[in-house]
Structures are given as structure tokens and as C-alpha cells.
Amino acid sequence: MGSTGPPSTASSEPPSGDTLGAWIDAYVSYCRSERGLSPNTVAAYRRDLSLWSAFCADAHVDPAAPAPAELTEFLRRARAGEAPVNAPLAPASVARAAISLRGLYRFLAREGEIPSDPTQRLGVPRRGRPLPKAISVEDVAALVEAPPPTLLGRRDRALLETLYGAGLRISELVGLDVDDVDLDGRWALARGGKGGRDRRVPLGGAAVRALEDYLIRSRPELARRARGASAAGALWLNSRGARLSRQGGWKIIATHARAAGLEGKVSPHVLRHSFATHLLDGGADVRVVQELLGHASLATTQVYTLVTDPHLVEVFRSAHPRATV
């Protein structure tokens, strides 16, 4: 890896934990600077490989040449939540841990740090494909109508209407600036989606009205409470006038879900799922929904069509002349 890489382990001595740590640092740096992976992905790879390092120390595994059984035992412990993993990992997280391992060892073999890649035959566990959760149109109405007409209530209603009405991710929502929203043109600019892609999303009438109410009657007062100018351009402000955080957005949703009798049923992603499902139920083309959601792959969007199957069957039975003969 050159002069900046981790120390070579050409000697007969198995590498130490410090050496494995240096390998992990080098691989994470490669993912970030050369592969251009997102900060969240890089952080997830580091977490996975930190667990692998702890497992190697606990099970006395030589990290330069782990046996196939040792690799699969690590993934088994990850699924079961056994040490060094403190809680069972979801199937998708176990699959990502396998990908992290394969990426690390391919990198080390390519850089000449180890003689061969021990993960060549390591399969990636199947992740499964759980259907997206969606709440009904009636439940959405109950949720967005739950906030009272108060200073913060107007903000919360506008936030909920925008989150559901535009199908945004929570990070895209809280990242909005005032200048990212065009109420006359009825669109918003969602920044920093997956892969760093920005996209324009349309805003419906309900979201536009709620945003106008918030911007005129609540945001100016919240902005006056700010102690600095750091949140001057932020669309969503907290009670102290600072930019609303992801955690703050989650709390708002949970508070009003509880008030609407939907406790435990609503999250930012559930509202995004509901946005997509309700569009497809209404006859929207799946490729249009793909663009609205900012999905790079159509296959990611097509999972929502599985949710709408019962609706399609109902329409077929009521509309097709030979369906009930």
C-alpha cells in the first residue's frame, strides 16, 4: 500500500490486533477517498469490521488467514447476538457484515498484505425482502390533523404534510432550507439523497397551505429565538430557533402519532412507504414513483407494487366482465 499503508505482516508471526486495526483504517480510508462511498456506508463498514476485530481477539482467530468456519461463526454470532455482538443483527445487517469482510480481504490481497483472499467462498446471507409498511389514507389524515394550531403545532403540521406529501427521507426533510422551497411553483429541492443525488419534488396543495401558514405565522417567531446565524436559512426550526435535527423530526412524528392513536405504527420511513403505496394505488406509473422517491434502481421501487396487489385484485374483480362469472 505504499509508505502510508499499514505495516506488512510478511513474518511468520500472526498479526496483532493493532495490525488488524491499521488494515481496517486503510480499507475505510480507501472506501471513503477512492471509492467515494457515503459517510453512512463508510461508518457502517467500520462498525462491522470493529466487531470482526473483537471476534478475532475473543476467539483467538488469526485475522490474516481466518478459516471458513471462523468466518461463518462470526456471522452466526452476529445473527444470534452473541459476543462480541450485543444484540441480534437484522438479516440485512448480517449481509452487510459479510460484504464488509469480503471488501476488506479483497483489498488486503490486492495490496499484497496477505497472500490470498480467505473470503472467496464466503457467501452473503440472503437478506429477505420484507414488505414496506404503509398506513391508510385515513390514518395519514388523522396524523397530519393532530397538531394543534399553536406556534409549534403549525410547524409540526407543515412538517408532516411535507414529509408525506413529497415522500422525503427524514434527512432530506430536515436538510431543507427556506430557499429550497418554491411555494408558487409548488416544488421543493431535496438535497443529499442516496448517492448524493439532489432532485426536485412536487408539493401538493395541503403541503403548500401548511407551509405558508408556518412560514408566515410561526417561523419568524422561532427565528427570533436563535442565538446565532447558523440556522438562518433552515426551513425547520426547533423551539430555540436552531435547525431541527433528525432526532427532533422523529420526536415530532412520534408525538402526533400517539395523539392520533397510531403509536408504534408511524415513522419517517413508514410515511415514505405510504406515499409510494398510495400513489400506486391511485394509478401512478412505477417509473414516476421511482423518480419521486429518488431510487437509482427500478427494482427498489417495484417492491411497493407487492403492497398494492390486494387493491389490484379488488379492482380486477369489480371491473373485469369475466372476473366473477
Q: How far apart are CA 233 and CA 8, in angstroms?
A: 50
Q: Are 97 and 53 in contact (CB under 8 A)?
A: no
- The catalytic residue positions are 169, 194, 269, 272, 295, 304
Residue of 28, 160, 161, 151 whose CA lies nearest to 100? 28
Q: At what angle do helices 17-33 and 39-59 cross, to 10 degrees?
A: 160
Residues facing 202 on adjacent strands: 187
What count of Cα atoms within 13 Å lies in the side-chain half-sphere of residue 41?
Answer: 17
Q: How far apart are CA 156 and CA 109, in angstroms?
A: 52
Q: Is 167 left (phi over 0), alpha (psi -120 to 50) or beta?
A: left
* Phi (first) and psi of residue 199, to 5 degrees: -150, 150
- Residue found by looking up cell 429550497 in the block: 180
What count of Cα atoms within 13 Å lies in the side-chain half-sphere of residue 274?
Answer: 21
Q: How far apart are CA 113 and CA 118, in angstroms?
A: 12
Q: Is the dihedral of CA 157, 163, 169, 173 positive or negative?
A: negative
Q: CB neighbours of 217 closer than 8 A, spacing ≥ 6?
A: 151, 154
Give the number of other CB atoms < 10 A from CB of residue 290.
19
Q: CB neighbours of 229 closer than 8 A, spacing ≥ 6?
A: none
Residue of 108, 100, 98 whose CA lies nearest to 77? 98
From residue 197, give the alpha-carbon distance in Å to each of 147, 273, 301.
32, 20, 16
